[in-house]
Structure 1
């Protein structure tokens, strides 16, 4: 395991890029490092680029990547671009659509609004997956927008986690991308490939919608030493709260790391509504102070972790289309643990006794958020 790009900045703790050469794995904790690596891989693509994203902004971060996509398409590379219609509706300049399609890019929008099927609009494609030439894939929490770039917004850029993987799992990433339009047929022939690094877990289709939820409950129930949760939107369903408390009461080190301020205030109200129960049960809650924390990582003991697109909330566990990489490789899990400890240095622990004395307006806001939790 080795590091790249030395850390800089007053609020930077940890390593922007961690490389595990044995598995071709790289973990990115800085947006600019991820964007630069992705741009370099896209520019070298010769055959195929498959890309799906939740937020793709036509700004100083997104436009150079889109221009590279168009250049590769004109050079004969097949480019498939799938964008979520809700996530990108106010940040993607739709005048670009013609230029993209004119270059040969196969552009599709996930679940546009339809009066005929209004309920499908509620289920979003939240996956951020790029597969390049059957050579490598990228997966994680980073969207393509200026908010995650230090070069664009400085010290207030979002803190996130993304990974790059090469090797046997690239084929599974390709199949996960191709399955989006026909999940039922795909699952009939799906055989989960388990490698030394880990395996990919999508939740496509109604039959597989609860896969992540069941996996999280099972792994937390089996935890022996620690359960460390990093998530921007923490609205766990009541059974999952019980599992976290149960683990804490049997002596497991259970810690939850969330941002102090997030971009959706109602979600924060719902998140804080769960604090009291967890704190009473021995779960330690920390709020990350410097900036928006958008990483989605679950760590159980020293040899199991997930990195991907799923938050620990109702939308990711029961509604949205998500994709995570389940890691079983010790060095990868150790690198994630190191980053978690580094993030805690910039966080403040929520005090249980102080939390019970918060103003009544805060109680009311949390009650409203909890009522709305299933739709956030």
Structure 2
């Protein structure tokens, strides 16, 4: 897909940007606002936020039970554990009753031998099943791109998306107090129909998305589902996040399990903090895998020097991917703020100009900060030399994370 020509020339959109003059930065910001930031009308609280896996899984299974026509579901991880078997049973029951049920799973995230019995049960019940990018010797590089989306669409009327995978790790009931911290959201109406179109696009291996999947004029909408790719910008998620940050006036609260140094998102955060915006980044204390944490920490010093406040979440694994900006904009979905999510993988996020959702995300952010430790610039500059070496290694392999 080629870049589009904007008011001041070609727009590449989201390639990593380590350096660049102030004039060029401003030019890129203007182009990005022109192409990647939709003019949404203000919403009226039509979204339901989930931060507990048990609550989400109950709501999703209930929605499957209400289905009357068709069910579309995709996930990066679909474990063959208690949670996975519960969903498999619900999907199989609907398929046996005559509904059109499709399940699209990532071959890397879910393709483990333990899943084979569930796959046979699902297909035996009539569920249409497909793997995303299984390894093929003829196309080995294709395996590098994963479907990292998590999406359930029921009858094209309601949809669930976010960061939760299908597994017991997210359940307080099954995994206990050390369960993974994550976020998800329910949408309905036009957004659910859009989610169905985006599911179909990936199921049918269409790229880029069909024209109707991403409306040209979003002014009549209060929110939009944004996939990794659009007809205008090959790295739309990076452009979207950077554009929102560049337009922020009061605060930017970001949560991400992984953060990629050297991207246009990092540049936008530093610029926003320098002009007085309250910019905060919440990441986990321990990277999973560790090299991902080293890459994240490689971005700390320039961010801290610019005035960005960084917090490390302490008590359990952090997997949520959310942004809350100016109590007006909320972003929630499957995309981390790292290289793979922003520039390689298939991702899907909700962008909403909805004060109710933004305030809910703000409130959750403040609750998370109660369990986080702030990293200060003075403390960070006293870290040990071996830690600096690990960060340098993480930065050097950040394109693979």
When the two structures are superposed, what TM-score results if normalisation uses the length of structure 1?
A: 0.91
In structure 2, what is the Cα distance between the partners aligned to 1:283 and 1:276?
A: 10
85-94 vs 256-265, which deviates more? 85-94
Q: Aligned match of 1:345 in 353, 358, 370?
A: 370
Q: Does 1:287 align with 2:318?
A: no
Give the gaps of 5 or more residues in structure 2: 1-42
Contact 2:198 2:213 in 1 (8 A): no
121-130 vs 98-107, which deviates more? 98-107
Q: Aligned match of 1:322 in 325, 347, 351?
A: 347
Which residue in the other structure is 1:219 paired with?
244
Q: Aligned match of 1:89 in 111, 116, 129?
A: 111
Residues 14-39 of structure 1 show CA distances to partners (whole Å, capped at 9, x for unaligned) of: xxxxxxx9654210000111011111
Which residue in the other structure is 1:4 paired with?
none
Contact 2:183 2:321 in 1 (8 A): yes
Q: Aligned match of 1:69 in 88, 91, 98?
A: 91
| Aligned CA-pair RMSD | 1.8
Which residue in the other structure is 2:38 paired with?
none
> Structure 2 matches for 1:258-337, cutoff 5 A?
258-337=283-362
Q: Does 1:133 align with 2:164?
A: no
- Report the 3-state secondary structure (helix = DSSP H, G, I; strand = E; otherwise coil) of the residue aligned with 2:327: coil
- Report the 3-state secondary structure (helix = DSSP H, G, I; strand = E; otherwise coil) of the residue aligned with 1:298: strand
In structure 1, what is the Cα distance between the partners aligned to 2:368 and 2:209?
A: 42
In structure 2, what is the Cα distance between the partners aligned to 1:187 and 1:168?
A: 15
Q: Does 1:182 align with 2:213?
A: no
Between the two proteins, the alignment pairs up a number of residues equal to 356
Query: CA distance change for structure 1 residues 23 and 338 in 2, over 3 Å: closer, same or farther?
Result: closer
Higher relative contact order, structure no. (Cα contacts within 8 Å, ≥ 6 residues apart)? 2
Contact 2:226 2:350 in 1 (8 A): yes
Give the gaps of 5 or more residues in structure 1: 1-20
Query: CA distance change for structure 1 residues 217 and 31 in 2, over 3 Å: closer, same or farther?
Result: same
- Report the 3-state secondary structure (helix = DSSP H, G, I; strand = E; otherwise coil) of the residue aligned with 1:235: coil
Q: Aligned match of 2:70 in 44, 48, 55?
A: 48
Which residue in the other structure is 2:181 paired with?
159
Residues 46-104 of structure 1 show CA distances to partners (whole Å, capped at 9, x for unaligned) of: 21000010000010111111011001100011100000001112375213222211111
When the two structures are superposed, what TM-score results if normalisation uses the length of structure 2?
A: 0.85
Q: Does 1:173 align with 2:176?
A: no
Tell me the CA shift for residue 189 of structure 1. 6.9
In structure 2, what is the Cα distance between the partners aligned to 1:185 and 1:148?
A: 31
In structure 2, what is the Cα distance between the partners aligned to 1:208 and 1:22?
A: 29
- Report the 3-state secondary structure (helix = DSSP H, G, I; strand = E; otherwise coil) of the residue aligned with 1:291: coil
Which residue in the other structure is 1:191 paired with?
215
In structure 1, what is the Cα distance between the partners aligned to 2:368 and 2:117?
A: 40
In structure 2, what is the Cα distance between the partners aligned to 1:175 and 1:194?
A: 19
